[in-house]
């Protein structure tokens, strides 16, 4: 019994003292690191490192009951094999019921500006897909552009390279992944299409769960940080969707995907701003819709602009940001064949509210969303939101 207690004490002690205090979570986009980057940064003295983030949300549409939820609680673990090889994994509990692996990859440092990576990784598209920790963005919920167009959180299994050329103020990532899945068996001897007009490619994410692949896809991103306070990103993604062996012979089972993104983040003293534009062109959607009976568009487009201002003086450790964000996202930006564009899918959100950072890594959020779409006479509920976010 004493031996078990002693071993338990050693285990807990090693866990506690393995964590080394690192710099406060930065709000300046040039010095921001996401959870995985922090584990890989080398600021920890221990071989084993642990991090976590979580969100609690209250969402109140105008005419419905409120929803209270814990959208995600996430534990991150890192292990350093030696000065060059590291492993990072991210274990996520969604809505307190679904356990998923969000990341699990090996990083090998070949040179100062070259890292080889392989495993389950985030696709580098836009801002939020890589920087989605709750203290890094304004608003209780992530921007809708990143839900319906990107679609966050988007991760797949792949291999590639990453690094920074600091002399050029340039960061880069380039990966080969498996792609989105288009169709699956419906359990009744037929097929079910996974992609549809309302949310585009979102339901086709394979996320490393028994993923199928008949052709690789390519993803790349460049980040420029040569101007003080400014970070610019250019993202691309090209390839074909995937279908399992029994379905890939069907006409319309695969479609082509060409995605392009621009993003910008800026901070100066108490002011901050960000913006993002994503355009996704899909080919062969006409054949896919005929095969599945779905209404997938041939182009998806979304953008947003956001500004925020810290109401507290710059010398205070706490920060209180007032912000406003305008976003438009259309999953029927274009259609193919006889499919008509659905104005319900051309949506606009205006979100305004407060983000109160009571300490580095803890934020209280409140905002109100004005929602609309392009259909004449359509009545969309506005929404009040409150949230708590932590990251350490």
- The pLDDT tens digits for 62-71 are 989 999 999 9
31 against 252, higher pLDDT: 252
Residue 44: pLDDT band with limits 50, 70, 90: low
Cα angle 128, 132, 134; round to 5: 135
What integer pLDDT is reported at residue 30 of this predicted model? Answer: 82
Separation between Cα atoms, residue 238 and residue 253, nearest integer Å: 17
- Provide the whole-model pTM: 0.90
Kindly tell me if the per-residue pLDDT of 222 is higher than 90.
Answer: yes
Separation between Cα atoms, residue 30 and residue 169, nearest integer Å: 10
Residue 25: pLDDT band with limits 50, 70, 90: low
| Tens-digit pLDDT profile for residues 130-179 | 999 999 999 999 999 999 999 999 999 999 999 999 999 999 999 999 99
What integer pLDDT is reported at residue 378 of this predicted model? Answer: 84
| Domain locations in the chain as residue ranges | 2-391
114 in Cβ contact with 163 (< 8 Å): yes
What integer pLDDT is reported at residue 165 of this predicted model? Answer: 95
Separation between Cα atoms, residue 174 and residue 246, nearest integer Å: 31
Query: Which DSSP state fits 192?
Result: E
| Tens-digit pLDDT profile for residues 96-116 | 999 999 999 999 999 989 999
| Tens-digit pLDDT profile for residues 272-294 | 999 999 999 999 999 999 999 99
Separation between Cα atoms, residue 63 and residue 380, nearest integer Å: 10
CATH 2.40.160.10 fits 2-391, yes or no: yes
Separation between Cα atoms, residue 124 and residue 234, nearest integer Å: 9
Name which of 197, 283, 212 is nearest 248 in CA terms: 212
């Amino acid at each position: 019994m004493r031996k078990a207690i002693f071993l338990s004490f050693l285990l807990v002690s090693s866990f506690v003292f393995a964590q080394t205090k690192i710099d406060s979570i930065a709000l300046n986009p040039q010095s921001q690191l996401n959870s995985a980057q922090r584990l890989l940064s080398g600021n920890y003295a221990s071989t084993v490192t642990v991090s976590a983030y979580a969100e609690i949300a209250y969402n109140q549409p105008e005419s419905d009951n409120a929803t209270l939820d814990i959208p995600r609680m996430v534990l991150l673990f890192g292990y350093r094999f030696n000065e060059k090889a590291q492993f990072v994994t991210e274990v996520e509990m969604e809505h307190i019921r679904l356990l998923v692996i969000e990341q699990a990859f090996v990083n090998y440092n070949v040179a100062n500006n070259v890292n080889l990576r392989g495993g389950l990784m985030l696709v580098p598209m836009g801002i939020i897909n890589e920087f989605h920790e709750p203290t890094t963005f304004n608003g209780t919920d992530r921007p809708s552009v990143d839900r319906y167009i990107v679609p966050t959180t988007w991760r797949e299994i792949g291999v590639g390279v990453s690094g920074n050329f600091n002399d050029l103020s340039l960061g880069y990532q380039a990966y080969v992944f498996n792609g989105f899945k288009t169709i699956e068996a419906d359990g009744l001897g037929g097929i079910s299409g996974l992609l549809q007009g309302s949310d585009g490619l979102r339901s086709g994410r394979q996320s490393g769960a028994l993923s199928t692949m008949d052709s690789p896809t390519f993803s790349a991103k460049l980040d420029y940080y040569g101007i003080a306070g400014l970070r610019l990103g250019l993202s691309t993604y090209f390839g074909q969707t995937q279908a399992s062996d029994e379905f890939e012979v069907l006409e319309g089972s695969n479609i082509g995907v060409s995605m392009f993104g621009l993003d910008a983040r800026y901070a100066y003293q108490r002011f901050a701003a960000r913006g993002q534009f994503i355009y996704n062109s899909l080919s062969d959607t006409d054949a896919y819709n005929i095969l599945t009976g779905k209404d997938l568009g041939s182009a998806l487009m979304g953008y947003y602009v956001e500004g925020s201002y810290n109401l507290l003086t710059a010398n205070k450790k706490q920060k209180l940001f007032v912000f406003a964000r305008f976003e438009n996202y259309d999953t029927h930006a274009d259609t193919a064949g006889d499919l008509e564009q659905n104005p319900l899918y051309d949506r606009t959100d205006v979100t305004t509210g407060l983000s109160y950072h009571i300490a580095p890594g803890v934020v209280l959020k409140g905002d109100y969303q004005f929602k609309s779409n392009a259909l004449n006479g359509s009545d969309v509920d506005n929404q009040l939101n409150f949230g708590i976010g932590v990251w350490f």
